[in-house]
Amino acid sequence: IAGSLVKPVAELGELEGLRLGGSQASSMASSASEKFDGAKAYKDAKALNMMTVLEMHKRFHDKTGVIFSSMYPGCIAETNLFREKRQWFRNLFPVFMKTVGAYVSEDEAGERLAQVIYDPDCTKSGVYWSWNGNAQQFGIASDRSVTSSGEVVYSRRGAGGSGGAIFENAFSGMITDPTKGRLAYEYSMDAVRDYL
């Protein structure tokens, strides 16, 4: 969610840094000249992980029966991911995410990970799992319903916030690019070959 709305965005370039073995953390995904940015490195790593999982699904699922899945647990706003941000941001961001209905606690995120592992509904391979009915939208309070007593009720949804049912989300075009997926897998294998 919000991958292209919240800067910096994941941009893997032509995987130059990964092709060179990722010898510098700042150049793991994109070019070696790119200045290190922790938030971008996180997003690039998540994109590479999703790409690799999808490629492993294509290569190994039919042969082995192993299930390969990615998941978006929601916005876990109180982690060390934002440790380099200003204190006011670290204090206000969780409050903001709770206000727009996008907040997920670390405990709930862990429960969601466990659900992908044990839930019989999650036995399909090559899937990107999300929660909250519409994690493709950001902080939308658009679900309006009327109770039997005539009370109008709005339920917030969006950004994979707390609660909601699990569903199959769509991968972005960058993640499903077959050439980049193949190269990400091959470059990753080259980088760890000495350890296998």
Distances (CA, A) of 78 to 93, 112, 136, 196: 8, 17, 21, 36
Q: Where are the domains of the chain?
A: 16-195
Q: Is the pLDDT of residue 76 over 90?
A: no
| 155-176 average pLDDT score | 77
Residue showing tokens 């290569």: 59
pLDDT at 158 over 50: no
At 149, is the secondary structure helix, strand, or coil?
coil
Task: Give residue 88's pLDDT.
Answer: 92
Average pLDDT over residues 5-12: 79
- 29, 18 contact by CB (below 8 A): yes
Q: Residue 162's pLDDT band (boundaries 50, 70, 90)? A: confident
pLDDT of res. 111: 94
Structure confidence at residue 67 as a pLDDT band (50, 70, 90): very high
According to DSSP, the residues that pair with 144 across neighbouring strands are 154
Q: Read off the pTM.
A: 0.77
Q: Write down the pLDDT at residue 136.
A: 46
Q: Where are the alpha helices (DSSP H) in 66-177?
A: 87-99, 106-118, 173-176
3-state percent helix, strand, coil for the chain, nearest multiple of 5? 45, 15, 40
Q: Is residue 19 within a helix (H) or strand (E), and if so which, with residue range?
A: helix 16-19
Q: What's the mean per-residue pLDDT of the chain?
A: 81
Say what the pLDDT of residue 155 is: 54
Greatest mean pLDDT among 3-17, 25-39, 103-117: 103-117
Q: Which of 182, 191, 192 is nearest to 57 (CA)?
A: 182
Mean pLDDT for 50-77 is 94
pLDDT at residue 157, as a whole number:
47
Residue 64 has a pLDDT of 98
- Looking at residue 4, its pLDDT comes to 62
Any residues with CB less than 8 A from the CB of 146 and at least 6 apart, and which? 152, 153
Q: What is the pLDDT of residue 38?
A: 78
For the residues of 34-59, what is the DSSP string, one character each? SPP-HHHHHHHHHHHHHHHHHHHHHH
**Average pLDDT rounded to a whole number, residues 128-149:** 64
| Contact in structure between 74 and 135 (CB atoms under 8 Å) | yes
Q: Report the distance separating Cα 176 and Cα 19, nearest Å.
A: 19
